[in-house]
Amino acid sequence: MTLTSKKVIQDIATAFAERSLPVEDSVFFSFSSEIDTKKIITTAKTTSWLNFPHELIYSNPEALNYTTSAAFTYLLPAYLIQSIAMYSQTGILTTSILSNLTPPDQTDADQFNELLDDLSDELGIYEDSSAALMGADDEILNLFNDRVNLLNVNEKKAIKYYLLYIAEFHGDDFPLFGPKQALDRYWINF
């Protein structure tokens, strides 16, 4: 299969066409001062994901990090499409998406612990604090599982094609942590 931006965008739009946000959903499970949560909530509750304003996505590239599982699956296709269509203008948007689409594993914990060991004296971080930080992986894995369990097989396939496209055309931009890890850890199976 030849991956083109047009084909991948069409696959995403088709797969997520019926995706909606439940009326009772709060959109965010946590808030950040860097995210325009009020505007995102208002927009998410009054428009379809397909018409979600590009400017709102660009100015809130990390919003997916704080969304409920239902809101994540609702907003994800808009973020995926913008990541492809406007890749060079989106800054950290693609990195944020990749982080949300990659389940944590022991390799991440090992690399993080190596980094902490290397920088512990300089940063003043001690062994007790690194163990506490790594305990967050279980929460991240649970959130990942909650989110992907809401996706249907066609949506998962569209995400796989998104990741394959990003790996093929922009993989060099992510030498340590990128689409390959997301594919290898979960999405290649679809």
What's the rounded Cα separation, in Å, for the pair 154 and 11? 9
On the question of pLDDT at 127 being above 60, the answer is: no
Q: Report pTM.
A: 0.86
On the question of pLDDT at 105 being above 90, the answer is: no
- Provide the 10 A C-beta neighbour count for residue 43: 17
What's the rounded Cα separation, in Å, for the pair 155 and 158? 5
- Among residues 140, 21, 2, the alpha carbon closest in space to that of 77 is found at 21
pLDDT for res 172: 94
What percent of the chain clears pLDDT 70, i.e. is strictly above it?
84
Owner of token pair 């369990």: 149
Mean pLDDT of the chain: 89
On the question of pLDDT at 137 being above 80, the answer is: no
For residue 53, which phi and psi values (nearest 5 degrees)? Answer: -60, 130
List the structure tokens of 146: 């909650």
On the question of pLDDT at 116 being above 70, the answer is: no
Whether the CB-CB separation of 102 and 177 falls below 8 Å is answered with: yes
Q: Rounded mean pLDDT of 89-109?
A: 88
Residue 124 banded pLDDT, cuts 50, 70, 90: low
List the structure tokens of 103: 């389940």
Upper half-sphere CA count for residue 47 (Cβ side, 13 Å)? 15
Whether the CB-CB separation of 175 and 96 falls below 8 Å is answered with: no
- pLDDT tens for residues 139-185? 889 999 999 999 999 999 999 999 999 999 999 999 888 999 999 99
pLDDT for res 125: 56
- pLDDT tens for residues 53-64? 999 999 999 999
The dihedral over CA atoms of 120, 125, 129, 135, expressed in degrees to the nearest 10, equals -60
- pLDDT tens for residues 8-29? 999 999 999 999 999 999 999 9
Hey, which residues does 28 pair with through a beta bridge?
Answer: 67
Residue spans of alpha helices (H) in 26-152? 37-46, 54-58, 69-85, 93-100, 106-123, 127-134, 136-148
Per 3-state DSSP, the chain is made up of helix, strand and coil in percentages (nearest 5) of 70, 0, 30
